[in-house]
Structure 1
């Protein structure tokens, strides 16, 4: 009996010694074993896809390992994010997400993962303002005029890139805070919204700088305000919503990189360091700025705090306004 106990004790000690060694083997050779996958959770051609490809090219150079982009789309990014969570937690699969990540849990009660528990935020790449614009022939020259018209009970509608999108939620928050009366017109993406906006079929459009700016440059749309707390470098003459009578208002589009919560923390930190390094490369910074993105970067802790704040903010807006997904 004593011999058996000693034998089991020896096995236990061996197991305890083996596990850290095995973990070290799995993490110590990262990223040498296989290509790294950046899963873009929206279709090719969009901002998430473009951000992913800009990062992939630079990370391939930095890491000496191929970094590929794979598009896994659907359900506002849920399908691609779930794909990464379900992948082996070895640090070779990451989701590149858009701001819908911070809204989805409030709109989709039956999501296949827990956003707060099953995901390890790696980094927030950057943020961008949305632009409230009006057709060139519109009577509105400032956002203050829109507010005054709404309070005078004039029927005003605004178009967004979709029901439950951040552009929809930002305007819902604004309407509620200002006691305004506006009608939401959801579109299926930025393309259809811009088509109707430049044709004058909807008085106001709300979409990212990336989607809106070409139509501002062509003078078919007039910008009234941006939704970030500070003015956009791409539109320095356009006031913020906060400057237009709504102090403290801040609603930003954003892009981030996520890992499964089961990925070893040291690999998540290493990936964070590599992406921060990539963001400091002038060519990469210039390409991302060309998308209208103000770079953010920072630690994994900063990414976690930012995303938690987004989840809390938009959960409250969804509940207060009884917003439903399409």
Structure 2
């Protein structure tokens, strides 16, 4: 609209009619005008918590407003996600979402929310998992582990940070494609599971790269392979599971920011622009990669399409493994 016509339109509408429109525009233009709550739906110390704090610190720099990490753990990440889904859709409560939320749509049949109806903001990237075993187990390769499992069905236990988490389904997928059997031991988060892996209470664990690195590097546990198709730059000498003889095995964590349904497009755009600036920052990308993560980016559709494909993919694994949480 030309400036002259715009002024004429304002005169016709009157100050009273224009007030709500101008107030709404001003609010969106200044977003964020106060601290933002970034919900990390897993306990402190795990990968989601670690990466959420890295992202929150950078978004604080990009927007000059504090992004405060709020750990709302429980039920495979669904308690935190539900808290965000119920929040006011104003951009001041957002979710550090993960692959776990795509899985939850299948394994929790009575979820009070649907992650697919939430507002996608930004794809943050992928994180490899590492197949770890306790040092007390006499295996050093994936092939040796498979042979040991076949010779000792149901004698070993694998851990996960909770039933229905990605760690759980990765192990079930591994069992299915290798024809092996292990017992599942769910924990309340990764930290206690890693403690028990080190002690030998459990023998196998599929852990995310950021959480696994310190234990692999100090020799507390033994890494056999990474779960994705490509080797990780964090552990370049470690083969993939597919390279180790389990063809077509490919799985990884992914992360993204979500907001409640109905969040204004202007707020989504502002948040997406902030993460885009973050990933254009070489020092941030280096810090991100140092945590074992590969950088993301792109518009909200990148995250939305990934979410939909992951819901479809993991629903097959969950059904075949009969994983259901009522």
Q: TM-score, normalised by structure 2?
A: 0.85
Match of residue 6 from structure 1? none
Q: Do the aligned partners of residues 291 and 28 (structure 1) sit closer, same or farther apart at CA in structure 2, a change above 3 Å counting?
A: same
Quick check: 1:227–1:249 contact (8 Å CA) kept in 2? Answer: yes
Contact 1:34-1:65 within 8 A present in 2 as well: yes
Instruction: Please tell me whether the aligned partners of residues 160 and 207 of structure 1 are also in contact (alpha carbons under 8 angstroms).
Output: no
Whether the 8 Å contact between 2:149 and 2:180 is mirrored in structure 1 is: yes
Q: SS at 2:285's partner residue?
A: helix
1:149 to partner: Cα distance: 3.5
How do 1:199-214 residues align onto structure 2 when only pairs under 5 Å count?
199-214=199-214
Cα-to-partner distance string for 1:167-189 (whole Å, 9 max, x where unaligned): 11011112212322333333333
Q: Deviations over 1:64-118 (max 9, x none)?
A: 333333333332222222222222222222111233212112121221112212x
Q: 1:52 to 1:138 in 2, by over 3 A?
A: closer
Q: How much does 1:203 deviate?
A: 3.2
Counterpart-to-counterpart distance in 2, 1:300 and 1:105: 20
Equivalent position SS for 2:156: strand
- Following superposition of structure 1 onto structure 2, how do residues 31-110 of structure 1 map, counting pairs within 5 Å? 31=31, 33-110=33-110
Aligned length: 312
Indicate the RMSD between aligned Cα atoms, in angstroms.
Answer: 2.7
Contact persistence 2:89–2:262 (CA under 8 A):
yes
Structure 1 segments unaligned to the other structure (5+ residues) = 1-12
Q: 1:32 to 1:149 in 2, by over 3 A?
A: closer
Q: What's the counterpart of residue 247 of structure 1?
A: 247
Alignment-derived partner of residue 230 in structure 1 = 230
Per-residue CA shift, 1:275-307, capped at 9, x if unaligned? 121123233223322322111222211111111
Asked whether 1:115 is paired with 2:115, we answer yes
Is 2:32–2:65's contact at 8 Å kept on the other side of the alignment?
A: yes
1:27–1:267 Cα contact (<8 Å) kept: no
Structure 1 residues 158, 229: CA separation in 2 closer, same or farther (over 3 Å shift)?
A: farther
1:281 alignment partner in structure 2: 281
Asked whether the 8 Å contact 1:285–1:295 carries over to 2, the reply is yes
SS in 1 for 2:240: coil
Deviation at 1:249, TM superposition (A): 1.8
Deviation at 1:39, TM superposition (A): 2.0
Moved more, 229-238 or 247-256: 247-256
Retained in 2: the 8 A contact 1:39–1:95?
yes
Match of 1:133 in 2: 132
Contact 1:127/1:253, CA 8 A, preserved across alignment: yes
Shift of 1:239: 0.9
Q: Provide closer, same or farther for how the CA distance between residues 244 and 27 of structure 1 changes in structure 2, counting only shifts above 3 A.
A: farther
1:20-39 aligned within 5 A: 21=21, 25=25, 28-31=28-31, 33-39=33-39
Tell which deviates more after alignment, 179-188 or 264-273. Answer: 179-188
Do 2:41 and 2:79's aligned partners in 1 also have CA atoms closer than 8 Å?
A: yes
Mark the runs of 5 or more structure 2 residues left unpaired by the alignment.
1-11
Task: Determine the structure 2 residue equivalent to 1:7.
Answer: none
